[in-house]
Each structure stands twice: as structure tokens, then as C-alpha cells.
Structure 1
Amino acid sequence: MATAMMAAATTSVPLPALAVEMEKAALFDFNLTLPAITIEFLLLMVALDKLYFSPLGKFMDERDAKIRAELGGVKDASEEVRQLEEQAQAILKAARAEIAAALNKMKKETTTELEAKLDEGRRRVEAELVEALASLEGQKEEAIKALDAQIVSLSDEIVKKVLPSA
């Protein structure tokens, strides 16, 4: 029912009045408004390009160039770091060789010193052994002499007791 009334109301409005209403409802006129808006748009584009986008693009280009330069510097530095690492490895290798040589030298010196002390100890022990053997030999000789003397005196006594005196 409501649509029927609207349709009746629309058909009851004369056509020229409808054209006037449509003209009032238009967003803008295409007479001089379109070129004016086009000119405003172009001026705004030029102004934004000169005031905003060009400086921003220049800044971004400079920043990009700076970043690329720093990256190139980092690549150069990485090569330098690699060379320094190689030098450090060479120095460490040389230091390890020096330490190994020093350890071997100390080991040889210590071994030589220990062998000398062992030889000295052996000589002392041998000297003491020779001295002790000589002392024992001397005591043996004295014991044999003492025994010989006792044997002679005992054999004389045995002979005296066994053989009657004649």
C-alpha cells in the first residue's frame, strides 16, 4: 500500500519539477566546476610533489645510499675480521708450538736432572755398599783370626787332654 502511494505521488509530480529537484540533488555542476576542481587537483598534486614527496624521496635516496655504503663497509670489515681471525689462529698455533717446545725442553732438563740425581744416589749406595762389604770383610778376617787363635788354643788343650803327657 505504501509503495502504491509513493508511485502515485511520483507520477503526480510534473516532469519539469522533477528535473529541478534532480538539479538540486546533484553533487556539483559540470559547467565551470569540473575544470576548477581539475585545476585545484593538479595544483595540489604539484604542491604536494614539491613540498612533500620530493624531499621525502630525496631523504629516502640519501638514506638508501648511506645504508648501502655502510653495508659495503661492513663487508670490507668482515674481510678484515676474517684476516684478523687468521692472524689470531696463526699466533695461537705459534704459541702452542712454543709452549710444546718449552715443555719438551723442561721435560728433558728434568729427566736429565733426575738421572743425574739417580746416578749420584747409585754411586753413594754403591760406595756405602763397598764400604760395608769392606767392613764386613775386615770383621770376617778378624773373626777368622780370632777363631784361628781359639782353634789353636782349643786344639792344644784337646791334645793335652787326649794325649797324656809323656
Structure 2
Amino acid sequence: MSCTATIASSLSFTSTTCRRVIRPLPAIRMSAEDSDRPSLGRPLLPPPFRLLTFRSLPIAAAVALATSPLPALAEQIEKAALFDFNLTLPAIAIEFLLLMVALDKIYFTPLGKFMDERDAAIRGKLTDVKDVSAEVKQLEEQAAAVMKAARAEISAALNQMKKETTEELEKKLAEGRKRVEAELAEALQNLERQKDETIKALDSQIAALSDEIVKKVLPSV
């Protein structure tokens, strides 16, 4: 609907009504006393129409709009809406701009803020993950160093234990060898002594047998 067409029709109706109401005033006779007074340059209106000035035209237009026939007013409004595009397009543009501003304040700004906060949170989590990865890598390096040191320590301990065990075994073997050699030497000595004793015993027996044989043989001779 066009506001310009509505106001124009209301003003035309108001001016027609005013022309019908305000009639030419009768000639006013002036006395000799009134002739000495300065003329104001405008006719005096009756009391009911003294308030009808340019300031009261909007009120009169509103009254005329309220008292005008509704079918004619609707027809004029429809014609103005069909052919007057001067205020419709700016109104649509203003409504569109207001809608965009409202959407920006209500939807886009909170959504953008939420997306920014989400991006910041994701970046923070990625940074934490990177930090954790660095810490994990550092811990892995420390664990590898500890394992390497433990392996070296265990290897050194095993080598030391092997060396000590070998030395102890060699010592025990040497002691056992010495003991065996001593026992063997003693046994050999015992065998030699027994051999000597046996030989001596056999020699005495042989001599005795020889004497007996000689005694038995000689008397017979």
C-alpha cells in the first residue's frame, strides 16, 4: 500500500470539504472609530473556523480519512498499491536489511563466535596432543636410555659373574687336581712299598724252598 496516495486523497477530500463549509462572508461595515484602527489584512472567520489553520491540516486529514467512504478509500488504496512502486521497493529493501541485521545479531554472530571458540578449542587440543606427543617421545627416549643402561649393567654383571665363576671353578679344579695328584702319588708310593715287601717276602720264601729242595736232594745223594 502507498502512503503517498492515501494522504493525497485525504487532503483532496479535506480541501473539498473546507471549500463547501467556508462560504464568503458578508461585507463588514466599519464605523468611523474602526477606520482609525490599522487593518490586519485578512478577513475575520467565525469562531468555529478560526482553529482551521495550516497546523491543523493533518488533524483534518485524519478526520476526513476516518469519515471518508470505505469502498472508495479501499479502491484508491488498491490503485495506489498497483501503480506506485516508489515506496514499496525501499520498504522491501529496508525490511531485507533489517532482517539481515537481525539474523546477523541473532544467528550469524553467535554461530561465528561458537565456530571460533570451537576452532580455538580444537587448536588447543591439537597443541596439547602435540605437547603430549613430545612428552611421550621424551619418555620413550628416557625409557630407551634406561633400558640401554640396564642392559649394559646386566651385561657387565653377567660378565663379572662369569669371570668370578670361572675363576672359582679353575681354583676348585686346581685344588682337586692337586688333591688327586697327591692321592695318586701316595697310592703309587703304597704300591711301590707293597711291591717291595712282596718281593722281599717272595725272596725269603724262594730261599726257604731252595734250602728245603737242597736238603731233600742232598741226603739222597
Which band: TM-score by shorter chain? 0.7 to 0.9
> Which of 155, 158, 164 is the equivalent residue of 1:103?
158
Alignment size in residue pairs: 140
AA in 2 matched with 1:89 = A
In structure 1, the residue matched to 2:199 is 144
| 1:55 pairs with 2:110 | yes
Secondary structure at 1:130's aligned position in 2? helix
CA distance in 2, matches of 1:106, 1:163: 83
**Larger helix share, 1 or 2:** 1
1:131 to 186, 201, 208: 186
Question: What's the counterpart of residue 92 of structure 1?
Answer: 147
Q: Which structure ranks higher in relative contact order (CA pairs < 8 Å, sequence separation ≥ 6)?
A: 2
TM-score between the two structures when normalised by the length of structure 1: 0.72
Do structure 1's residue 39 and structure 2's residue 119 form an aligned pair? no
Deviation of residue 50 (structure 1)?
0.5
Choose which of 158, 166, 176 in structure 2 pairs with 1:121: 176
Which residue of structure 2 lines up, in the alignment, with residue 65 of structure 1?
120
Distance of 1:158 and 1:124 partners within structure 2: 50
CA distance in 2, matches of 1:120, 1:165: 67
Unaligned runs of 5+ in 2: 1-80
CA distance in 2, matches of 1:165, 1:129: 53
CA RMSD, 1 decimal: 2.4
What does residue 81 of structure 1 align with?
Answer: 136
Name the larger-Rg structure. Answer: 2
Between the aligned residues of both structures, percent identity stands at 76
